[in-house]
Structure 1
Amino acid sequence: MKRLPLSVLLLLFFLFLAWTVSIRQAVLFAVGIGMGAALAGARFGFTTGWRQLIEKRDPRGVMGQLVLLALASVFSLTLLGQYPELTAALGPPSISLLIGAFVFGLTMQIADGCGSGTLYKAGLGIPLNMGILPLFALGSFLGSVQVGDWLKLGQIAPIGLVSEFGSVNALWITLAGLFIFGLAARLWVGKGRTWWDRKWLVGALALAILAALNLIIAGQPWGVVYGFGLWAAKIVHAAGLFDPAANAFWSQAGNAQRLNEMVLMDITSITNIGILGGALWISARASGDSKPLTGKQWMVGLIAGFLMGYSSRLAFGCNIGAMLSGISTGSIHGWIWVPLAFAGTMIGVRIRRHYQF
């Protein structure tokens, strides 16, 4: 579809949301479009950046991510300090987090996309990611059904840097931690490398601003995984195959309410839809850069997509919900997520290479 008729459709859907749902949901949809356009336009791939660092000793993608984390932390921690009614992306340090983050990091390399990557690449029309999207949603739903059992293996209460040290100190601690990550990348890569890419830096700035807008408008940080799980939960519940009242996760008041509301009322769902729209808008003039896959590659990729969805729920988020939103709003679980996911990705890139993706 060409950009003009697509732009008209996106505008009409924005007006529909504003008229029938709420102005807030319409604006969040517009924010999601911006996110999708920034991700797809800059090819801002969290998965790709990690893989390039490991396989090619190319630090540009990871440095772009560190810039994004630093900018988002400045915006988000300042907002959290000024407006206590805003919430942070807190997750409990737990056995579930350790296992989920590791498996997610492994499978995202095979599936060639994290939560946001799957969304925007599906919007670009890349076949594997389009096939993975519903399986990611199913995996996320099953993970939410079983996460209560996983948490029984061991957990502690969520720890937030803002509540522990105040927003100013939390920001300095976060920036120091990001500097250490950058120094580790420098030691890994060595000398004589190009460190910065304009496309990644522009994408980082755009995404940091949009993440801050999401926090202001929604009152909560940017997330992706919850929307996937909710979509599958609604389908399974409507088919009479699932009783949410008997489940620890979906019987919680907020989750039960979202399950019974129309999907357009959910904050994460509406930004996810916007991301798809924004990526689709970019794809009107950009190639999806996909190649034909063998049957074995399809099977391995789809299984990885399902496991990625399942593990993302156990880890309380993906590269967006756990890493970006977790770290930028001062959650300790985000700092735990990164090294475990990176350890998983070290194995994932080798499996990906074995199957010649």
Structure 2
Amino acid sequence: MDRGRSGATALGCRLPTRRGRSGAHSSPDVTPQQPHERSLRQRATLGLGQLARATTIRIAGAVLVVVAVVGLSLWLQQAAGYGTPAVLSLWFGVALGVVFERGRFCFFCILREFFEERNSTGIYAILAALAVGGIGYVLVAGAFLPDPSRGRLPPGAHIGPISPVLVAGGVAFGLGMCLAGGCISGLLYRVGEGYSRAPIGLLGVLLGFGLGFYSWNTLYLTFIAQAPVWWLPAWLGYGGALALHLAVLAGVAVGLLPLLPHLSARTAQPISLSSIGHALFVPRWNPLPTGALVGVIGAVAYFRVEPLGVTAQLGSISRTVLHDAGALPARLYGLDTLAGCATQVVQAITTNGWLIGGLVAGSFAAALLANRFQISRITPRNSGSALLGGILMGWGAMVSLGCTVGVLLSGISVFALSGWVFTLAMLAGVWLGLRLRLHHV
């Protein structure tokens, strides 16, 4: 969406000829309105000049973001305790930020469009991400753990226990999405677009994690400690799990076809640098390549660093602050033994933190190029709803060991049934939140 060019373009298109009172075309050199015509030309030239300067500033800003990321990468490569994993995480985050922003890959936006407008377009981006991610995870997990039937799990994979706590966490997360106007990854990439409620929602996420830590021991001892951890390849092998995975996704895709709007044919245009730039940075990307790119990034990130997730650093910040204040329980039972977006007491930025930073930077650069960066207005009312929504999402993500990226995308891609349980519970929460019109609070 380009907000700055329509007026100037329309004015410029009216300049070459002008109709006189008789209705015939007349030349500006012989009409009585010559001063007016000259004024129009001057205004058009000024408008086009302002547009060109604004475009130049946006491009320069995006270039500066890239230069800053490159410089940070060089420093991280040499810094003690960081090195290649931090650099890769940073660039994986940049790639995700660009894809999320250009493809509007926000789970809440996609689900609101589906439930309220009966439009399944965005759902296909999620399905594509899961399909490509599943194929990629088979290759990666198969390399890490060739025989899945021996009772072991692939290292670091987001395969969690299935319990009523997971269901409650998913529902709370879905309700929080409605209040905050986005999931956690959606809030992060929308920071790069100037969405002023996003930082408030993320503050709520930190508070919600704190509440999760306080409730963890009771929930763990009552529900989670003996909960089953189900991983499809342990029963079906990698081939059977992938076949079932793709069959389920294909069934959902076919079932949603009636809700897919008819796409009008686009007028063929000659290929040029300007047309390529317009296609990349102005219209919303097609959901299928958007989702496919997310799936590829997720699989490569798992192979080189760790599964995708956006809550480990946020949760670690909350846990560290509470730990240093002496406000945490003396022991959080079982938390550090479970797979997922694990939190820890840290004094430095983790690889997940660099991924989050890259995500915001990539989104910011993409938003600048697309002329989508705009500081939104906040009010006490929408700030309060964002904070409350963040608290619900933070609590839900903490007790579920992740969010829509860590549990849903990374979990389902590695064939963890916990990913599907969380997804269904989250869908129920979003549906309920929309019915209650929490997104209008």
Q: Under a length normalisation based on structure 1, what TM-score does the superposition of the two structures give?
A: 0.88
- Which residue among 296, 304, 325 is the counterpart of 1:217? 304
C-alpha separation between the residues in 2 aligned to 1:278 and 1:150? 37
Aligned length: 349
What's 2:320 paired with?
Answer: 234
**1:135 matched to 2:194:** no
Percent identity over paired residues: 23
- Which residue among 416, 422, 431 is the counterpart of 1:331? 416
Structure 1 residues without counterparts, runs of 5 or longer: none
C-alpha separation between the residues in 2 aligned to 1:308 and 1:166? 34
C-alpha separation between the residues in 2 aligned to 1:296 and 1:130? 15
- Which residue among 341, 350, 353 is the counterpart of 1:269? 353
C-alpha separation between the residues in 2 aligned to 1:117 and 1:48? 9
Shift of 1:33: 1.1
Residue by residue over 1:261-288, the C-alpha shift from the partner in whole angstroms, topping out at 9 and shown as x without a partner, is: 4433x23222112112211222333324
Shift of 1:164: 2.5
What's 2:175 paired with?
Answer: 106
Cα 1:120–1:74, aligned 2, differ >3 Å: closer, same or farther? same
What's 2:15 paired with?
Answer: none
Shift of 1:57: 0.7
C-alpha separation between the residues in 1 aligned to 2:418 and 2:339? 22
**What is the DSSP-based 3-state SS (H/G/I as helix, E as strand, rest coil) of the residue aligned with 1:153?**
helix
Give the greater-gyration-radius structure (CA): 2
C-alpha separation between the residues in 2 aligned to 1:254 and 1:125? 33
What's 2:233 paired with?
Answer: 162
Residue by residue over 1:278-323, the C-alpha shift from the partner in whole angstroms, topping out at 9 and shown as x without a partner, is: 1122233332467534422221221111111111112222111111
Cα 1:222–1:164, aligned 2, differ >3 Å: closer, same or farther? same
C-alpha separation between the residues in 2 aligned to 1:192 and 1:200? 13
- Asked whether the 8 Å contact 1:118–1:133 carries over to 2, the reply is yes
**1:117 matched to 2:204:** no
Cα 1:290–1:55, aligned 2, differ >3 Å: closer, same or farther? farther
- Asked whether the 8 Å contact 1:109–1:345 carries over to 2, the reply is yes
- Asked whether the 8 Å contact 1:140–1:225 carries over to 2, the reply is no
C-alpha separation between the residues in 1 aligned to 2:333 and 2:391? 22
C-alpha separation between the residues in 2 aligned to 1:50 and 1:289? 24
Tell me the amino acid that sits aligned with residue 229 of structure 2: P
Residue by residue over 1:44-81, the C-alpha shift from the partner in whole angstroms, topping out at 9 and shown as x without a partner, is: 11111111111001110011111111111111122212
Cα 1:296–1:336, aligned 2, differ >3 Å: closer, same or farther? same
- Asked whether the 8 Å contact 1:60–1:194 carries over to 2, the reply is no
**1:3 matched to 2:90:** no
What's 2:55 paired with?
Answer: none
What's 2:157 paired with?
Answer: 88
**What is the DSSP-based 3-state SS (H/G/I as helix, E as strand, rest coil) of the residue aligned with 2:229?**
coil
C-alpha RMSD of matched pairs (Å):
2.7
Tell me the amino acid that sits aligned with residue 287 of structure 1: R
- Asked whether the 8 Å contact 1:147–1:249 carries over to 2, the reply is no
Q: Under a length normalisation based on structure 2, what TM-score does the superposition of the two structures give?
A: 0.73
C-alpha separation between the residues in 2 aligned to 1:349 and 1:120? 22
What's 1:148 paired with?
Answer: 217
C-alpha separation between the residues in 2 aligned to 1:252 and 1:76? 22
**What is the DSSP-based 3-state SS (H/G/I as helix, E as strand, rest coil) of the residue aligned with 2:440?**
coil
Cα 1:79–1:99, aligned 2, differ >3 Å: closer, same or farther? same
Cα 1:212–1:154, aligned 2, differ >3 Å: closer, same or farther? same
- Asked whether the 8 Å contact 2:180–2:387 carries over to 1, the reply is yes
**What is the DSSP-based 3-state SS (H/G/I as helix, E as strand, rest coil) of the residue aligned with 2:288?**
helix
Cα 1:50–1:134, aligned 2, differ >3 Å: closer, same or farther? same
- Which residue among 316, 341, 344 is the counterpart of 2:426? 341
Structure 2 residues without counterparts, runs of 5 or longer: 1-57, 146-153, 265-283
- Which residue among 201, 205, 209 is the counterpart of 2:292? 205
* Mean CA deviation greater in 311-320 or 82-91: 82-91
Higher RCO (C-alpha under 8 Å, 6+ residues apart)? 1
C-alpha separation between the residues in 2 aligned to 1:253 and 1:48? 30
* Mean CA deviation greater in 143-152 or 114-123: 143-152
**1:305 matched to 2:371:** no
Tell me the amino acid that sits aligned with residue 277 of structure 1: A
- Asked whether the 8 Å contact 1:86–1:216 carries over to 2, the reply is no
**What is the DSSP-based 3-state SS (H/G/I as helix, E as strand, rest coil) of the residue aligned with 1:93?**
coil
- Asked whether the 8 Å contact 2:316–2:345 carries over to 1, the reply is no
Cα 1:11–1:145, aligned 2, differ >3 Å: closer, same or farther? farther
